[in-house]
Amino acid sequence: MNSHNNPRKSSTPVFQSTRLLDQLREQIRYLHYSLRTEEAYVYWVKNFIRFHNLEHPRELGQVQVEAYLTYLAVQRKVSVSTHRQALSALLFLYQKVLGVALPWMDELARPVPKKRIPVVLTRAEVQAVLSHLTGEHKVLASLLYGCGMRLFEGLRLRVKDVDFDRKVIVVRDAKGGKDRVVMLPISLLDALKNQCHQSHALWTQDRVNQVPGVEMPHALEVKYPKAGQTWGWHWVFAQGTLSTDPRSKTVRRHHAYDQTFQRAFKHAVQTALILKPATPHTLRHSFATHLLQAGTDIRTVQELLGHSDVSTTMIYTHVLRVAAGGTASPLDALQI
């Protein structure tokens, strides 16, 4: 490390691996970061090292980090969120893996994300999209819109967290590691029960074939080694084929793939002749907007969405104000 950077040694983790990228993965898993975060951080660190001709990050400092971040912004023209993710990956590498606290890292400017008005579908447009989906894709889309869930919250839904009697769903380990309770739409009861019935057939097949249990969160797999084989922990939206766990290399039943659903959703939007750039997350935006439109208290919507701060939920009131036409345009007062 360059002397002018004045690095301060912090507690360095003890790793089993000697290779830097493997150490990065070890620390990410130790801290229970998601697989998607692991893949992203590994990608950015590899890209950073290649950008500097395979030099070890210990030998690089503020100038090199800023040069790389400038390259991402100017040459590759990455989005603000992507730029912030790359910076987070480098901060994690230096502070959590290399055990080096760099004073200048606190001075690195994080791009401020621009506030965007979310894309929201009308009720008629939601109905049109749902009408062009079939099978589990229609059930999943209905769940995202009916409960305001994020895509991965729906895909990772476990059987034990669906309470048909009380008509509620417990969303576990959502964004920020929080749990929350959402309503289970009455109109979705039969379809969701049928989805669980199909999933149960796969679970029974796996037990007969002695397939390892589904992935368990964090250390529960060690604490309760058989829990992953129980019906309660099985996926509501289980993948039809077995796949290899990218971390443990265990061949097991994974939940349905997000890419498959995203393709089906995009096709449904196009078939419905909707020109808005709608994605599965648009269903969550539409859920919140339509609840507020119906007079639901904003604090209730905040809790259903799992927002820590009500100011995050307030973005939907902007959509409503414009859509409601509360302020007349001066053009309408002209006699044309």
Q: Tell me: the pLDDT tens digits for 206-235?
A: 999 999 999 988 767 778 889 999 999 999
How much is the average pLDDT of 67-89? 91
Most confident of 56-70, 146-160, 244-258: 146-160
Asked whether the predicted pLDDT for residue 4 surpasses 50, the reply is no
Instruction: Return the domain boundaries, the chain.
Output: 3-107, 123-321
- At 108 the pLDDT is 67
User: 12-44 pLDDT, tens per residue?
Assistant: 677 888 899 999 999 998 888 888 899 999 999
| 3-state secondary structure (DSSP) of residue 4 | helix
**Chain segment 125-174, per-residue pLDDT in tens:** 999 999 999 999 999 999 999 999 999 999 999 999 999 999 999 999 88
Burial (0-12, 13-18, 19+ Cβ within 10 Å), 140: buried
Q: Spelled out in words, what is the top-level CATH class assigned to the domain 123-321?
A: mainly alpha
Q: Which of 35-39, 195-199, 278-282 has the lowest mean pLDDT?
A: 35-39
Higher confidence at residue 166 or residue 311?
A: 166
- Mean pLDDT of the residues in the chain: 89
DSSP secondary structure letters along 106-171: GGSPPPPPPP-PPP---HHHHHHHHHT--HHHHHHHHHHHHHT--HHHHHT-BGGGEETTTTEEEE
pLDDT of residue 3: 42
DSSP state of 94: I
- Both structure tokens of 226: 């058989």
Which pLDDT score, from 0 to 100, does residue 1 have?
A: 45
What single string gives the DSSP state of each residue in 258-291? HHHHHHHHHHHHHHTT--S---HHHHHHHHHHHH
pLDDT tens digits, 92-127 = 999 899 887 767 666 666 667 677 789 999 999 999
- What is the C-alpha separation between 117 and 107, in angstroms, rounded? 30
Q: Could you list the active site residues?
A: 150, 175, 281, 284, 307, 316
Taking alpha carbons only, the member of 14, 274, 237, 17 closest to residue 142 is 237
pLDDT value at 298 more than 90:
yes
Would you say domain 3-107 falls under CATH 1.10.150.130?
yes
Report the DSSP beta bridge partners of residue 168: 163, 183
The pTM of this model reads 0.81
Q: What percent of the chain has pLDDT over 90?
A: 64
DSSP code, position 211 = P
